[in-house]
Structure 1
Amino acid sequence: MKKALITLLLLTIAVATVFASGSKEAKQETRVVTTVCRASYVNEEWFNSMNAAFEAETGIHVDVQPTPGNDADHDAKLNIDLLAGSTIDVIPSLGPKFYYNRADAGYFVALDDLIASKGIDAKEVWGSYLPYSDDGHYYAVPYKQEVYCVFYNKNLFDRAGVPYPEGPWTWDEYVETAKKVTDLSAGIYGSYMNIENPWFILSAKQKNIPLYKEDGTCNFDAPEFRESIEWYKSLGNDLKIQMPVEEVVNENASWNYYAMAGDHLALFVQGNWFTRLLNSQTDYPKDWDYGVAPTPSAGEDGNNNFVSMGYYSINKNAEHPEEALEYLIWLGQNQWKFEGQIPALASLTAEEQNQVFSAIADASHGQVTVSDLYENFMNTGMGVAQSDIIGTAADEYNRIVNDEVAAYCMDLQDIDTTISKICSRVNEAIKNVQ
């Protein structure tokens, strides 16, 4: 009996050891990569499908950590987390401003050698879209480019008996078109623009007026910036073709407001990425159809369109650097297929070119065609203007302009005070950085 008990005990220990060993091996085999995203992304089908596809292809589980709040909350918290030594693996930067600020702060690892170690020629894949820093290295790969355009509500144009807008056109023609569709008695505005950059300074940016003087100080006292913000304010306060800034603030309108309230907003200037929202009846149900027109020009010296980029980088403190590299490379080549956006790839096959726009057109269920998208996004004959503020203390510069121009638009201060405060505050921010 005693011998039997000893034998049973030994068998139990052996089995437990085998299971423990197996469990340990299984745990070691589970590969994970972590990333962050805006809160709204976790409920969007394309985002979840994309990560599921990556996991199915590589066996690497994507642990997504969404940031509560709006876009500003996301970017602010992400910057704080990076400063505090966050170990999140893959960091998204939507726009050159956020990318260069973070790269210059030393939060990311150089990718040149890492990507080359995978047998990938980065220049062949991403070409001129690679964001090289002054040190000759790049710290991110681009995953999409955003080309600005004008979205419009076809139903509101039909209601007013006004032809759909076509390019090429100017901002004066944009205003005249918006006037024809506006019907304040029915709560319909002919135009809607976000209350932030670059909308505050559209024409100045299209003319590529520098935001910094040659000596590195603030150039916001250039007359073109004054003209731009006076024009922006006039749209809501004087012409009344769009919601006044105070009303937009009271609505707590966020980045996706037009997708939720476009039933009474005729024209909207935004990047092509917004088609994803307008095509999603699941996430943004609507009972109206949209169309696209090119961005208006600011005259002969302002015939430029805004182009921005989205980037992925690897955190220098990444907990899973190998998995992070695989995820980053995959996203840089594949995210556009799920998000339905324009990739930032050096070259596309004829089939891929058609896929870029046919995916968007198909998802619109007849609202826009491949030809509509190509002609109004890519074949406009316009040059390129930078949508972000990039340079010394750029993040602070952007915040100051947004704060002071919003105050001006709500009649809390006059134009001279606005320009003066922007210049003095930005120069102080530049001085503090130096």
Structure 2
Amino acid sequence: MAGCAPAKQEEVTQAADFDQTVSTQPVTLKLLVNAVRLSDLEFQTIFYEPVKKKYPHITLEKVTGKLDQLIVSGNVPDLIVSDNDWHMRLQDADLPMDLTDLVSKSKLDLRKFVPETIQAVRNLDPKGKELQGIPYSLNAGALFYNKDLFGKFGVPYPKDDLLWSDVLELSRKLTRMQDGVQYIGWDPRYPDVYVSPYTQPFVDPKTNKALVDIPLYRKTLELFQKVYEQPGFVSGKTYAYGPEGFIGEKRVAMMADWASKLISDFLQAEKDGVASNWDMVTIPNFEDKAGKGRHTLTDILLITKNSPYKEQAMQVIQLVTSREQQMAMSRSSRVTVLNDPEVIKAFGTDNPSLKSKNTASIFKYKSSPVAQPNRYDKEVQNLIRAMRKEMAINKKDINTVLRETQEAADKKIAELMKQ
């Protein structure tokens, strides 16, 4: 603890030095949430209230609406909350400014962050020079499970360090019809989840061709095929169950997801009177990626190029990434971006519901490097996810699904390139 005090004091001093140079005239900063999860409660506790307390002259206003419509109407936000997976559409709109100079001016120490988060943001610039955002929250994959269903069917709970083949074996013991209810052992969700640790691009940057019909997706679809072959798993037109089947209906025993997302769902459900007896373990992997985390996914704050209040926006970023605020966020179950053992250890301590959970599993694996993003990633990703239906419902073989999806993705990219 003694080693952390000087760094904390230095951070406060640097922030104060920057604050002295910034105008204290009342301003309203418009903040847009772009395709990431930020509840109204989180907006209040992470952003609005701390900013109002430290900077009474700064008012944060959460704006809503489609990005292109906001741009056309001249209602461009000053700050955008996004993540590195959804950054390219912002780049296409020429919105993010390079924060390098503001980081230097404000003396924001990038060394305090988990290195993978800064690298993930650097990776958003093809030239690797610009810093188009600052990380403020990290994500990590985990396997969640319903303890009641494991108990009901007498199956031992999952443990850390499982492989996907282990999860499949557990699933086979839990996928069954009982008392008129079809229980599902494991919803495998999306194929790209399994490719996540491989730093595998969706699109070849040299040829602008999709990377779908490749060995990694073949291996993944072979796993999915075994899941769909379980008696009772595919029912009519239903082949995916998601959070509703897992948390709401409580008939799915296991599901992997981003930890902060599913923990948020569990806590919200509990608040709404739908409590679950759940726990979590490390994200499983294929054998050749055992012990590796999913790709680095970090929520970021970026300042738009046309904002008239760039320095005030930088004050918001400084505050949200300060040790004090990151500690508060960690205690309330947001994964910190700081490379600080004490802040990490505090995760979830303000949530009584998490006290008995294996939250250490979130931090056990280091996240994997991110592939170079491409402006057509999301279109290809959507087609990759649609492969599930082609297999489960339309009963197409893996070769056909990979070939047809590759062709569809290449066609979609070619169409978009002409626009």
Per the TM superposition, whether the score is higher than 0.5 is yes
| 1:356 alignment counterpart | 347
Does 1:177 pair with 2:163? no
Question: Do the aligned residues in 2 keep the contact of 1:153 with 1:290 (CA within 8 Å)?
Answer: yes
Q: Is 1:221–1:423's contact at 8 Å kept on the other side of the alignment?
A: yes
Match status 1:225 vs 2:217: yes
The 8 Å contact of residues 34 and 80 in structure 2, kept in 1 or not, is answered as no
SS in 2 for 1:32: strand
Alignment partner for residue 290 of structure 1, among 251, 257, 278? 278
2:108 to 113, 116, 120: 120
2:203·2:376 contact (CA, 8 Å) conserved in 1?
Answer: no
Q: Provide the C-alpha distance between the structure 1 equivalents of 2:349 and 2:112, rounded to a whole number of angstroms.
A: 25
Q: Given the alignment, which residue of 153, 160, 164 partners 1:160? A: 153
Which of the residues 42, 45, 48 maps onto 1:46?
42
User: How far apart are residue 180 of structure 1 and its match?
Assistant: 2.0
**SS at 1:358's partner residue?**
coil
SS in 1 for 2:405: helix
Question: Which secondary structure state, in structure 2, belongs to the residue aligned with residue 305 of structure 1?
Answer: coil
Which of 50, 63, 73 in structure 1 is aligned with 2:61?
A: 63
Instruction: Read off the aligned partner of 1:147 and give its amino acid letter.
Output: A
For residue 317 of structure 1, report the CA deviation from its aligned partner. 2.7
8 Å Cα contact 1:143-1:336 kept in structure 2: no
Task: Specify whether residues 36 and 127 from structure 1 end up closer, same or farther in structure 2 by C-alpha distance, changes over 3 A only.
Answer: same
* Deviation at residue 99 of structure 1 after TM alignment: 1.7
Report what 1:275 is aligned to: 263
Deviations 1:17-51 (A, max 9, x none): xxxxxxxxxxx954221112379967653332232
With over 3 angstroms needed to count, the CA separation of the structure-2 counterparts of 1:58 and 1:428, relative to structure 1, is: same
- The equivalent of 2:32 in structure 1 is 36
CA deviation after TM superposition for structure 1 residue 379, in Å: 2.4
The answer to whether 1:192 aligns with 2:190 is: no
State whether residues 144 and 254 of structure 2, in contact with CA within 8 Å, keep that contact through their aligned partners in structure 1: yes
Cα 1:108–1:181 shift into 2, 3 Å: same
User: Is the CA contact 1:88–1:319 (under 8 Å) kept in the aligned structure 2?
Assistant: no
Mapped contact 1:389–1:397 kept (Cα < 8 A): no
Tell me which residue corresponds to 1:300: 288
**Whole-Å separation in 2 of the counterparts to 1:136 and 1:78:** 26
CA distance in 1, matches of 2:236, 2:321: 37
Matched, 1:384 2:372: no
Match of 1:426 among 389, 409, 414: 409
Deviation at 1:151, TM superposition (A): 0.7
Structure-2 change in CA distance of 1:389 and 1:257 (3 Å): farther
Q: Determine whether 1:316 maps to 2:313.
A: no
* Separation in 2, partners of 1:340, 1:38: 21
- Per-residue displacement from partner, 1:55-79 (whole Å, max 9, x unpaired)? 2221122211245xxxxxxxxx336
Q: Distance in 2 between matches of 1:269 and 1:389?
A: 24
Q: Which one has a larger percent helix, Structure 1 or Structure 2?
A: 1
The share of aligned pairs that are identical, in percent, is: 14
- Unpaired runs of 5+ residues, structure 2, are 1-23
Cross-structure match for 2:359: 373
- CA deviations over 1:216-270 (Å, ceiling 9, x no partner): 33332113312312422542x3115756694267x8x6xx536742622211101
Whether the 8 Å CA contact 1:111–1:140 is kept in 2: the answer is: yes
Q: Which moved more, 1:37-46 or 1:129-138?
A: 37-46
**What is the CA-CA distance between 1:278 and the residue it aligns to?**
1.8
Separation (CA, whole Å) in 2 of partners of 1:245 and 1:227: 26
The equivalent residue for 1:10 is none
**Where does the alignment leave 5 or more consecutive residues of structure 1 unmatched?**
1-27, 68-76
How many residue pairs get matched?
378
Structure 2 letter corresponding to 1:272 = A
8 A Cα contact 1:38 1:66, kept in partner:
no
SS at match of 2:346: helix
CA distance in 2, matches of 1:83, 1:303: 46
Distance in 2 (alpha carbons) for counterparts of 1:245 and 1:205:
30
Q: Distance in 1 between matches of 2:82 and 2:60?
A: 18
Conservation of the 8 A alpha-carbon contact between 1:245 and 1:406: no
Deviations 1:378-425 (A, max 9, x none): 224x66264x88335212222232344434433175544432232223
Whole-Å separation in 2 of the counterparts to 1:210 and 1:326: 35
Equivalent position SS for 1:184: strand
Distance in structure 2 (CA, Å) of the matches to 1:398 and 1:80: 24
CA deviation map 1:279-325 (0-9, x unaligned): 34564532321111111220135653213211111122335433322
Alpha carbons of 1:258 and 1:340: their partners in 2 closer, same or farther (altered >3 Å)?
A: farther
Question: Distance in 1 between the 2:69 and 2:236 partners?
Answer: 29
Distance 1:154 1:282, change over 3 A: closer
In the superposition, relative to structure 1, how do residues 390 and 169 fare at CA in structure 2: closer, same or farther (>3 Å)? same
Partners of 1:336 and 1:424 lie apart in 2 by 48
Change (3 A) 1:55 1:389: same
Q: Who is 1:7 aligned against?
A: none
Residue type of the partner of 1:396?
E
Q: Is the 8 A contact 1:126 1:141 kept in 2?
A: no
Deviation (angstroms), 1:83: 7.6
- Residue 205 of structure 1 deviates from its aligned partner by 4.0
Distance 2:308 2:211 in 1: 42
Moved more, 260-269 or 137-146: 260-269
SS of aligned partner of 2:337: coil
Deviations 1:336-358 (A, max 9, x none): 7335221112x31x432321253
Which residue of 97, 119, 142 maps to 1:109? 97
